[in-house]
Structure 1
Amino acid sequence: MDRKKINRKTATEAIRFLDANMLDATPTNYTFAYLYLTGANGWLRKQVDGITDGGVRLHQKDVDDLMDAAPGETGHGAASTLDAQMDEQQAGLRHQMLSFADLTAKALNNTGAFGRELAESAEQASGTRDLASVISAMIEKTAEMERRLAETCRETERLRQDLDAARDDATRDALTNLPNRRAIDRQLKTFADHGMPMAIAFCDIDHFKSINDRFGHAVGDRVLKVVAETLAETMAPHVVGRFGGEEFVVVLPQVDGATAFTLVEKARTAVGERNLRVRDTDEVIGQVTFSAGIALCGNDPEAALREADSLLYEAKSSGRNRTIYKAAA
């Protein structure tokens, strides 16, 4: 297996590791998962195995403490690995941009050379009787130029697709394919900077830990995908993102609180109506529901997120499977 495939396999396993432990897919957490899965830091792996023995999952505090304490088997602790990873990604993008510039320059040079060759051929044609051979040579040169330009176009398109994929991977949740927290934060900032009013809804799957405990994390992943798909379909065209774990965020620009409440309730009903079963055994999972909190946002997205989170907690505390929105008095 080549290095690219190995790296992709490790990345997929790292995301699954984070999901299994309900950890956000942040750069630091991804680095932690990478170090553990590859065994690049033996001390870290031993500590994690000790904590998770018996099926206990990791918590964010465990990750933070272990990353701070990790010895320098990978450089100067885990931080240097993260820096190197980010540098490698940036270097890769820079290389692609330079390659694109080289391709463009090559195409321009080829076009100029072709023009000069045509001029030379025209001069030859004016001073010779063997016009057929000159025309044949010009046709051959034209065909060669077309082949070069076609190859340049194909290489340029491949580079464009690679760049698009790199940008998309950085803002997509690997499991649900929804925008991730980074993408949502960026969108909220953009709307706030433009003074656009909006509603923000926090949605959290009820009793998700019990689903993982009863049926396993693979089934839990499927439940997350189903909820993600249902939210995205029922809330369209508004953006739904996975904020981390079993928590989702819906951004509703230029939507008032009452309308946002109606839309979220529609989504909550749609999720609750799904008849979910375990694919391999056909065992009934039972009704899956979520709780939600809604807040209005002006120019301070962080404050709105905190308010929505607080209302979500209130919905959980008051019985779950409900949406709470409190209009300003």
Structure 2
Amino acid sequence: MAGVSTQRVADTVDASTQLFCRVGEFLRDNHLSPDPLHYAFAYRVLTDTQGPLARAVAHLTDGGVSLSRRDIENLGGEIGALAAPTPTEAMALAKSDGLVAQTLLQVEGFADMMQAMRTDTAGFSRDLAASANEIRRSHETVAVDEVVRITTRMLDRVNVAETRLEAATHEAAELRTKLEEARANARRDPLTDLPNRRAVEEAYAARSKAGDHVCLAVCDIDHFKTVNDRFGHSIGDRVLKAIGEALRQGCEGHMVARYGGEEFAILFVGVTREAALATLENAREAVAAKRYRLRESDEPLGAVTFSAGLTIAKPEEVFGTVFARADRLLYTAKDAGRNLSKAG
């Protein structure tokens, strides 16, 4: 009996571990942050694989489509307030934070240096005043010698302080350059070299605050999971870079960002929805017309397409609201057959 109980415990632990891994894969495949709300939704899907929720999810993700925020909400799930940064973004932010800490330490060092110089100057003034009084009283050569000694000592201290100040100024210039570079890296996608999610959200906030006319497009590569499954993630990365570059060229003058996974966001500023849609359609048609081949074997990869949703931002709308609306239009295009753009 003891052996049977031990086996049951082992089976339970093994099943729990497998479920945990499957939940992690589900979150990764759908680009969801590992917060409790998303975990609970994944748990509901994976513990009842024949239930209505699991069937609905299977239908929505057919062909490698990732779940959108709106999909999860429509299926009764909840959305976390903020998406967790990607590992690359987290590393860039950590580097930036480290440089900020160095800068703060240097500022404190400047403060200490200036305080020391003020103390030395005050001491020099007191000593010089005392020596001047002594000269007036005695007219002795020894008092003059004392003034010379004090002055020489003070000049030495000033020279040392100037050397330290010059070195600290040079260090500050280097830190400023590194800090600017780190801040830029924290807002850039390392694979495509496009702005990332943080950058486009900040740009939208700035444009919205300025009262600019803004349109937002959300683009998603069609059947991207199939590319990864057939050819591997390295080929998938090349496809992402190629599509990112095609969007950048096709939408020149507008901000093209990799929002996450196979999703891109385009910020159109100062143009009508019709003009933005025309630009987006030209880019989509140019991408669909290309035929890709594998560099190593010259094997045809075939056509790669994307679907898109485009919407106008209303005054004072937050980014999440505008993105959700564009995202719904994107999945309307997916449902209509893919390789389409929908505007609303």
Q: In which range does the TM-score fall when normalised by the shorter chain?
A: 0.5 to 0.7
Residues 165 and 325 (structure 1), Cα distance of their counterparts in 2 relative to 1, 3 Å cut: same
Aligned to 1:259: 275
Aligned to 2:286: 270
Paired letter, 1:65? Y
Residues 58 and 196 (structure 1), Cα distance of their counterparts in 2 relative to 1, 3 Å cut: closer
Three-state SS of the structure 2 residue aligned to 1:200 is strand
Q: Pick one of 315, 321, 326 that aligns with 2:333.
A: 315
Superposed displacement of residue 297, structure 1: 0.8
Aligned residues: 266
Residues 282 and 95 (structure 1), Cα distance of their counterparts in 2 relative to 1, 3 Å cut: same
Aligned to 1:184: 200
Superposed displacement of residue 224, structure 1: 0.6
Superposed displacement of residue 238, structure 1: 1.2
Q: Pick one of 97, 100, 107 that aligns with 1:101.
A: 107
Aligned to 2:215: 199
Q: Is the 8 A contact 1:196 1:298 kept in 2?
A: no
Structure 2 length as normaliser, TM-score? Answer: 0.59
Q: How does 1:109-258 map to 2 (within 5 A)?
A: 148-258=164-274
**Distance between the aligned counterparts of 1:241 and 1:62, measured in 2?**
19
Superposed displacement of residue 103, structure 1: 4.9
Superposed displacement of residue 293, structure 1: 1.4
Superposed displacement of residue 213, structure 1: 1.0
**Distance between the aligned counterparts of 2:325 and 2:27, measured in 1?**
28
Residues 229 and 150 (structure 1), Cα distance of their counterparts in 2 relative to 1, 3 Å cut: farther
Percent identical across equivalent pairs?
A: 35
Superposed displacement of residue 212, structure 1: 0.6
Structure 1 length as normaliser, TM-score? Answer: 0.61
Residues 59 and 145 (structure 1), Cα distance of their counterparts in 2 relative to 1, 3 Å cut: same
Q: How does 1:72-91 map to 2 (within 5 A)?
A: 89=94
Superposed displacement of residue 147, structure 1: 5.7
Residues 95 and 230 (structure 1), Cα distance of their counterparts in 2 relative to 1, 3 Å cut: same
**Distance between the aligned counterparts of 2:271 and 2:296, measured in 1?**
42
Three-state SS of the structure 1 residue aligned to 2:257 is strand
Aligned to 1:305: 323
Deviates more, 1:55-64 or 1:173-182: 55-64
Residues 274 and 261 (structure 1), Cα distance of their counterparts in 2 relative to 1, 3 Å cut: same
Paired letter, 1:97? T
Q: Which has the larger radius of gyration?
A: 2
Q: Is the 8 A contact 1:180 1:243 kept in 2?
A: yes
Aligned to 2:22: 51
**Distance between the aligned counterparts of 2:246 and 2:33, measured in 1?**
33
Q: Is the 8 A contact 2:220 2:307 kept in 1?
A: yes
Q: Is the 8 A contact 2:219 2:306 kept in 1?
A: yes
Q: Is the 8 A contact 1:200 1:305 kept in 2?
A: yes
Q: Is the 8 A contact 2:309 2:341 kept in 1?
A: yes
1:22-75 CA-partner distances (Å, limit 9, x unpaired): xxxxxxxxxxxxxxxxxxxxx9x955885399x998445794429x99xxxxxx
1:238-272 CA-partner distances (Å, limit 9, x unpaired): 11112221111101112111110111122223323
**Distance between the aligned counterparts of 1:62 and 1:165, measured in 2?**
27
**Distance between the aligned counterparts of 1:62 and 1:192, measured in 2?**
27
Q: Is the 8 A contact 1:100 1:159 kept in 2?
A: no
Residues 234 and 115 (structure 1), Cα distance of their counterparts in 2 relative to 1, 3 Å cut: farther
**Distance between the aligned counterparts of 1:62 and 1:101, measured in 2?**
37
Three-state SS of the structure 2 residue aligned to 1:294 is strand
Residues 207 and 115 (structure 1), Cα distance of their counterparts in 2 relative to 1, 3 Å cut: same
Residues 239 and 111 (structure 1), Cα distance of their counterparts in 2 relative to 1, 3 Å cut: farther
Segments of structure 1 that go 5 or more residues without pairing to the other structure are 1-42, 70-81, 120-139
Q: Is the 8 A contact 2:192 2:244 kept in 1?
A: yes
1:205-229 CA-partner distances (Å, limit 9, x unpaired): 1111111111101110111111112
Q: Name the Cα RMSD after superposition.
A: 4.7
**Distance between the aligned counterparts of 2:259 and 2:340, measured in 1?**
19
